[in-house]
Amino acid sequence: MPASTSAVTDPADPDALPGQRVRLGVDRPMRLDSGLELGPFTVAFQTYGTLNEDRSNAVLICHALTGDHYVLDRHPVTGKPGWWEMLVGPGRPVDTDRYFVICSNVIGGCMGTTGPKETDPATGAPYGLSFPVITIADMVRAQKLLVDHLGIEQLFCVIGGSMGGMQVLQWAVSYPESVFCAVPIAAAARHSAQNIAFHEVGRQAIMADPDWCGGAYLLEGKRPHRGLAVARMAAHVTYLSEAALHRKFGRNLQDRAALSYGFDADFQVESYLRHQGISFVERFDANSYLYITRAMDYFDLAADHGGSLPDAFRHAGKATPVRFCLVSFSSDWLFPTAESRAIVHALNAVAANVSFVEVATDKGHDAFLLDEPEFHQVIRGFLEGCAEHRGLTARRRAPAA
């Protein structure tokens, strides 16, 4: 009766994954917020389009909690289309005919970048819980090393949704001189108590699975698939809106004409959730889930600046004016519009260059991954305006659709 996970494969072998890779922190390990050091470490990434001569057309995409760097490519484990191919590509709002697009798997992740499932060179065994706890700022530090490695002094744009939006904000705060424009989508300047609570439920579900083995499941030849599936199911409900769930599923029954009076998935929404749980464990590592949710919970931009969010943005707003475009979605209750508004207020308080759009949609937090025409128009328009300012000439082969 529980979601069957017996047929599930393990998360991908990093050595067999497509894409580019670079060793960073080789000469000098990277100093983390925790005070620990990491290095050398691997960053797995993909690029799309061509870097122009003056290296001014690079767009860094930051992925969300369970995302990765396969923005446009068919996913090597699931075979599904790239997670942002509706927004990114030739002639798309993030136009790969015009921009050089970079996306890297975050540190702590499980798709090729160094994380808890990789081998600790000091012991020859998987890191597991000996991997250092990382933060959003640490993820961004690793991205900065990658961008330096690629010889790019200033990114034209940093863009991302959800945890990706947190990274965008961190870029603007940590490296304002390296960002021409920034697009944080469905994000927040600090993780709320409710969001920490939902993450904690997921972590407890994983750690309650005996196959988690105190984090050492790889050494034991096990995988906490059941706990990770429950964590994913709990999270997935929060990514949708009540209206979207009602529209998609309502109280419709799954492959039956009447209630079963049992504990099978009677309702379509149950069947959908079970599928979300089962398919997730094919592609994700349980310890990575612990580390990345922790990084999001720790995120609090103001806390690092005496509790003042405007102070956090002071450099981004004044010394080197990053151009901001914030986007929120009206039915997103995980990162509600109020969170974006608080960021806009802080940016206004330091006279930053900021525009803000709340997109009306019933699709909830997940809207940033979906076909949402108004959202896509906003991104296209903002980037075109900024590209003109930056002196980027269009390289499009055909007019925009």
Q: Give least dist CB 35 to a copy of itself, A.
A: 8
Give phi and psi for 300, each to the nearest 5.
-160, 90
| 261 makes contact with a copy of itself (CB under 8 A) | yes
With contacts defined by CB under 8 A, how many residues of the chain interact with a copy of itself?
A: 65
* Residue/partner pairs of 51-54 with CB below 8 Å, 24 or more apart: 51/100, 51/150, 51/152, 52/100, 52/392
Single out the residue of 14, 11, 10 nearest to residue 119, CA to CA: 14
Q: Give least dist CB 269 to a copy of itself, A.
A: 5
For residues 143 to 182, the per-residue mask of contacts with a copy of itself, x marking binding by CB under 8 A and - elsewhere, is ----------------------------------------
Q: Is 332 a catalytic residue?
A: yes
Measure the CA–CA gap between 272 and 354, rounded to whole angstroms: 39
Which of the residues 56, 162, 178, 328 is marked catalytic?
162
Q: Among 92, 141, 226, 315, which residue interacts with a copy of itself (rule: CB under 8 A)?
A: 226
Q: Is 162 a catalytic residue?
A: yes
DSSP state of 360: P
Q: Give least dist CB 143 to a copy of itself, A.
A: 20
Q: Which is nearer to a copy of itself, 194 or 377 (CB)?
A: 194
Q: Which is nearer to a copy of itself, 246 or 345 (CB)?
A: 246
| 10 makes contact with a copy of itself (CB under 8 A) | no
Interaxial angle between packed helices 286-298 and 136-149, expressed in degrees from 0 to 180 and rounded to the nearest 10: 100
- Helix boundaries (H) for 182-283: 193-207, 217-220, 225-239, 242-248, 268-283
Measure the CA–CA gap between 69 and 97, rounded to whole angstroms: 19
21, 34, 260, 265, 270 from 257: Cα distances, Å: 52, 55, 9, 13, 16
Binding segment for a copy of itself (CB under 8 A), chosen from 88-96, 115-123, 228-236, 393-401, is 228-236
Q: Among 274, 315, 323, 380, which residue interacts with a copy of itself (rule: CB under 8 A)?
A: 274
Q: Give least dist CB 242 to a copy of itself, A.
A: 4
Within positions 18 to 47, which residues make up the interface with a copy of itself, using CB under 8 A? 33-36
Binding segment for a copy of itself (CB under 8 A), chosen from 57-65, 68-76, 165-173, 245-253, is 245-253
Q: Give least dist CB 227 to a copy of itself, A.
A: 7
Within positions 114 to 133, which residues make up the interface with a copy of itself, using CB under 8 A? 129, 132-133
Within positions 330 to 359, which residues make up the interface with a copy of itself, using CB under 8 A? 333, 336
DSSP-assigned states of every residue in 17-68: --SEEEEESSSSPEEPTTS-EE-SEEEEEEEES---TTS--EEEEE--TT--
Q: Which is nearer to a copy of itself, 14 or 215 (CB)?
A: 215
Measure the CA–CA gap between 88 and 161, rounded to whole angstroms: 13
Q: Which residues pair with 326 in a beta bridge?
A: 356
Single out the residue of 387, 336, 327 nearest to residue 359, CA to CA: 327
Within positions 357 to 376, which residues make up the interface with a copy of itself, using CB under 8 A? none
Q: Give least dist CB 294 to a copy of itself, A.
A: 7
Q: Which is nearer to a copy of itself, 12 or 187 (CB)?
A: 187
Widest pairwise Cα distance in the chain: 67
Q: Give least dist CB 42 to a copy of itself, A.
A: 22
Within positions 184 to 213, which residues make up the interface with a copy of itself, using CB under 8 A? 190-194, 196-198, 200-201, 203-205, 207-210, 212
Residue 350 three-state SS: coil
- One-letter amino acid at 210 equals P
Q: Is 362 a catalytic residue?
A: no
DSSP state of 89: E
Within positions 63 to 122, which residues make up the interface with a copy of itself, using CB under 8 A? none
12, 35, 191, 289, 317 from 108: Cα distances, Å: 15, 16, 18, 9, 30
Single out the residue of 67, 71, 24 nearest to residue 49, CA to CA: 71
Single out the residue of 15, 31, 203 nearest to residue 119, CA to CA: 15
Task: List residues near a copy of itself by CB under 8 A.
Answer: 1-3, 33-36, 129, 132-133, 190-194, 196-198, 200-201, 203-205, 207-210, 212, 214-215, 226-227, 229-230, 233-234, 237, 240, 242, 245-246, 248-251, 259, 261-263, 265-267, 269-270, 273-274, 277, 290, 294, 297-298, 300, 303, 333, 336
- Give catalytic residue positions: 162, 332, 365
